[in-house]
Structure 1
Amino acid sequence: MLFRVPLFLSLLFSAAIFGFFYAWVCSTMWGLDQTPPEVAIQAMNAMNRSVRNAVFAPAFFGTPLVLVVTAAWVWVSGRRAAAMWLVAAVLVYLLGAFVPTVMINVPMNQALMLTDLSQPTQVLAEIWTAYSSTWQISNIARTVASGVALLLVGAALLPATARGPNTEL
């Protein structure tokens, strides 16, 4: 029974980060794109400052840790197939969501913070359009990667919770 706890935590953490990235894809950025550029820049900067919090950190930083611990637990328990699904999930998340966030989105966010909002609206519109389009492409990639990681965790649940010879929970 204790075996299921880390699996369900892996599922929860993976779902939380997928949902976070997904919300940006289907609402936040589209809404910002429909506002005046100075408002979009101010709002994005405010969101980027506020996202550094105790609610977001466990989902973003904790997901790979929970996945690794769960993979190890599952491996040691003899459920090798499930462990491999979890290893795949952590690799997909790290390479497809975590690294791009650190290497692309965060530097873009930091650069946007330096935008002088006293510039003419046309200049701010050009800055926002360039930022938003590039940021959204990276975010779609993060969303897909974290969604695939979530599916891989789901796939790990199947062999890990199967009942049969040598698979008793």
Structure 2
Amino acid sequence: MRSTVLGLSVTSVVFSGAIFGFFYAWVCSTMWGLDRADPRVAIAAMQAMNASVRNAVFFPAFFLTPAVLGLTAAAAHFSGRGAAAFWFCAAAAIYLAFGLMLTLMVNVPMNEALAATAVPGDIAAARDIWRDYSQRWQVWNQVRALASGIALALAALGVSRL
């Protein structure tokens, strides 16, 4: 059981780190770059990136992180490592609520609305669309990045308690 818990704990940290890195990259480079581009280009680029993210490489980190964290918490609990189980469970709850669910309830609908928007030829119209989208999207992405970073830190605490 010890090797199972150890393997799951490493997997939890890797998954949590992957999704944190994904959201963090959007915070510190991708959106800032798009905000500096021609808004017509930014809209088209964001539409393309949102369409491409639905893939088998992204799926495990985004959707399976709370399951892996929860499974690690259960394995730690049943192996008598209650303190570690607590931290893995807390990490799962934080990411589930403020990473996965927030994305599905806020960012995905925003992305779908942008995908349904034709890129206007008029730069002023495109600027208005992009500014309204980008500002709101970035606020919620910062919440996702922060929550994912907290989940990663909590998973690391779980590992330290093993």
Could you tell me the TM-score, scaled by structure 1's length?
0.92
1:38, 1:113 → 2: CA distance? 13
1:86, 1:10 → 2: CA distance? 8
Name structure 1 gaps, 5 residues minimum: 161-169
1:117, 1:23 → 2: CA distance? 25
Q: Is the 8 A contact 2:40 2:121 kept in 1?
A: no
Counterpart residue type for residue 45 of structure 2: A
Instruction: After TM superposition, list the pairs within 5 Å mapping 1:1-169 onto structure 2.
Output: 1-2=2-3, 3-160=5-162
Q: CA deviation at 1:157?
A: 0.9
2:125, 2:140 → 1: CA distance? 23
1:37, 1:115 → 2: CA distance? 13
SS of 1:6's partner is helix
Q: Is the 8 A contact 2:98 2:147 kept in 1?
A: yes
Structure (1 or 2) with the greater helix fraction: 2
Who wins on radius of gyration, i.e. which is larger? 1
SS of 1:52's partner is coil
SS of 2:80's partner is coil
Counterpart residue type for residue 159 of structure 1: R
* RMSD over equivalenced CA pairs, Å: 0.9
Q: CA deviation at 1:145?
A: 0.2
Q: CA deviation at 1:118?
A: 3.3
1:61, 1:114 → 2: CA distance? 24
Q: CA deviation at 1:86?
A: 0.7
1:114, 1:11 → 2: CA distance? 36
Deviations 1:27-76 (A, max 9, x none): 00000001111100000000000000011000000101101111110000
1:165 alignment counterpart: none
Q: CA deviation at 1:95?
A: 1.0
1:64, 1:118 → 2: CA distance? 39
SS of 2:161's partner is helix
Mean alpha-carbon deviation: is it higher for 111-120 or for 24-33?
Answer: 111-120
1:85, 1:159 → 2: CA distance? 9
List, as ranges, runs of 4+ consecutive aligned residues in structure 1 with deviation greater than 4 Å. Answer: none
- How many residues are aligned here? 160
SS of 1:53's partner is coil
